[in-house]
């Protein structure tokens, strides 16, 4: 299971050819475990192009909610514990929900226009259930944390967290943790959400 993930496929630029799971630390921070799809074909070796994409992806994750990101400071030093190829179809399956790829809650559909976002929801989730790895091992690690943010487009009861927003956040964490692969239960993600108006 993983700490954080950005579920992005830049389909407007090229067709993904490969996918990778990685765990990298930026500027000595807590390692980020995530995955990304790449337009660079995988031929048995991690090329410099793929490594650069992963480093840039990890920097984006590390600075996604910090003041450094607003200032454009995204040149942190990268140390990767591992980079491994994964099945492209498995990675693309993570992107079936458009709202996840847009980092916008489901209430922003069907247009998912960032200009319509009213609230930015910062969240941290832990998985309190058990999972099953492909080799049959049962795993449980409630100390793992998935952090992220989702924009939402409707205000209910001020900026209170609605049941649907909580479900969206749980599902986001489920995708980030490769819930299908590890046979996780989406309802077992316990999440804290802080909602901040965009204006």
- Which stretches does DSSP call E strand in 1-144? 18-26, 32-38, 78-86, 119-127, 131-132, 138-139
Same domain, residue pair 65 and 115: no
Residue after which a domain boundary falls, among 47, 69, 93: 93
Same domain, residue pair 58 and 107: no
Residue 85 lies in a domain: yes
CA angle 79, 82, 84 (to 5 degrees): 135
Number of independent structural domains in the chain: 2
Same domain, residue pair 36 and 119: no
The residue range of the domain holding 187 is 98-197
pTM of the predicted model as reported, rounded to 2 decimal places: 0.51
User: In a structure prediction context, what are the per-residue pLDDT tens digits for the chain, which is 199 residues long?
Assistant: 333 333 333 333 456 678 888 888 888 877 777 777 788 888 888 889 888 988 888 887 777 644 444 444 456 688 888 788 876 665 555 445 667 777 888 888 767 788 888 899 999 999 998 888 767 778 787 778 888 899 988 776 665 678 888 999 999 999 888 888 778 899 999 999 998 888 7
Cite the DSSP H helix spans in 14-123: 48-62, 67-70, 88-93, 98-101
Let me know: does 7 contact 14? Beta carbons within 8 Å.
no
Same domain, residue pair 155 and 127: yes
Residue 28 lies in a domain: yes
Residue after which a domain boundary falls, among 93, 125, 144: 93
Let me know: does 41 contact 17? Beta carbons within 8 Å.
yes
Same domain, residue pair 105 and 176: yes
* Beta pairing partners, 32: 24
């Amino acid at each position: 299971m993983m700490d954080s993930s950005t579920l992005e496929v830049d389909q407007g630029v090229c067709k993904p050819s490969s996918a990778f799971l990685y765990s990298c630390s930026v500027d000595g921070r807590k390692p980020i475990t995530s995955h990304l799809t790449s337009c660079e074909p995988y031929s048995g070796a991690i090329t410099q192009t793929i490594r650069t994409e992963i480093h840039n992806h990890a920097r984006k994750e590390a600075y996604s909610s910090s003041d450094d990101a607003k200032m454009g400071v995204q040149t942190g030093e990268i140390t990767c514990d591992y980079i491994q190829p994964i099945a492209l179809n498995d990675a693309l399956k993570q992107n079936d929900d458009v709202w996840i790829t847009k980092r916008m809650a489901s209430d922003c559909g069907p247009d998912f226009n960032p200009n319509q976002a009213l609230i930015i929801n910062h969240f941290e989730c832990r998985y309190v259930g058990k999972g099953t790895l492909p080799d049959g091992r049962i795993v449980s690690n409630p100390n793992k944390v998935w952090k992220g943010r989702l924009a939402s487009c409707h205000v209910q009861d001020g900026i209170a967290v609605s049941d649907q927003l909580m479900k969206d956040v749980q599902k986001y964490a489920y995708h980030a943790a490769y819930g299908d692969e590890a046979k996780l239960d989406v309802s077992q993600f316990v999440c804290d959400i802080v909602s901040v108006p965009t204006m």
